[in-house]
Amino acid sequence: MLPDHWQQNDLIINGVSLHYCRTGNGSKPPLVLAHGFSDNGSCWLQNALDLESSYDIIMPDARGHGLSARIQPGDQVDMAADLAGIIHALGLQRPIIAGHSMGAMVAFEVGVRYPDIPRALLLEDPPWFQPEERQTAGQPTENPMAPWVRNITTLTLDELIAQTRAEHPTWPEWVINTWCPAKKQLDPNILTVMNIRGIDWAEKVPQLTCPTLIVTADPERGGIVTPAIADRVQKLNQLCTIAHIAGTGHHIHFEDYAAFMKNARAFLQTLEG
């Protein structure tokens, strides 16, 4: 499925094995693509194919996802530290970091906590909820993704592909062929160490020090970042800009790939030179 000239390797980061795929050898500007919850690095396949002529693209599998380490009892999972560790281990200099959903949250945390790492951030519908929607760590509620995860674990790959085609008839085949196998690689125990609704983004957005593009979708179609949140983000930090792609839901780069890439390329061009 992946081009033969792409590299696939594993690194020991923070005591665990983390898998990644890489398109280049360091001769081009580095671009790190962080995937969403239940995806893996190959879910950026088409984006990487279209950008590899200009960038050295690194697509890690987050812990509990893809071919990376499983979640063990008592694990304290810090995906931002994991991603920063990968960037350091590979010797990447000021990479641009793009992320979708969970990956956008991870990229955002890297930008806040490790400001010397990213040249810029591209955040695709990060899980930034209104305060009343946020879930605090102490609330005794089931992870909202748990029922969905239980469902996909009961399906065979063929059943999952059929279900996904029925639910998302406009998704291209490359999405189906990467997204569905990734679901079968998900470690359900990741749910025990994740709380994406607990992120206080409004406190952290002002701490960003690099150009940041936030790509948003339509809330009525499942987009998380609402117009009100987007407006507040821009007021909190002038380094943040918004690109709204109408007619899409949470999986923007699956649902309108051309529009997503048009906005991504325009942003990347502003960073050249």
Q: Which domain holds residue 49?
A: 7-270
Does residue 100 belong to any structural domain of this protein?
yes
CATH number, domain of 134, equals 3.40.50.1820
pLDDT, residue 137, reads 44
Judge whether 13 lies within some domain: yes
**175, 47 Cβ separation under 8 angstroms:** no
Residue 153 counted as domain residue: yes
According to DSSP, the residues that pair with 212 across neighbouring strands are: 121, 240
> Is 249 inside any structural domain?
yes
Number of domains making up the chain: 1
Q: What pLDDT is stored for residue 99 in this prediction? A: 99
Average pLDDT per block of 10 residues along the chain, 273 residues long: 92 98 96 98 98 98 98 91 99 98 98 99 96 54 82 95 95 96 96 78 97 99 97 98 98 98 98 83
Distance between CA atoms of residues 267 and 199, nearest Å: 25
- Model pTM? 0.95
Give the list of residues 6+ apart from residue 50 with CB closer than 8 angstroms, or none: 261
In a domain, residue 126? The reply is yes
Let me know if residue 92 belongs to a domain: yes
**Residue 194 pLDDT:** 81
Establish if 161 belongs to a structural domain.
Answer: yes
Residue 2 lies in a domain: no
Q: Which two tokens stand for residue 53?
A: 């002529």
Q: How does 33-62 read in b/e, with b if 16+ C-beta sit within 10 Å?
A: bbbbbbbbbbbbbbbbeebbeebbbbbbbb
In this prediction, residue 210 carries a pLDDT of 99
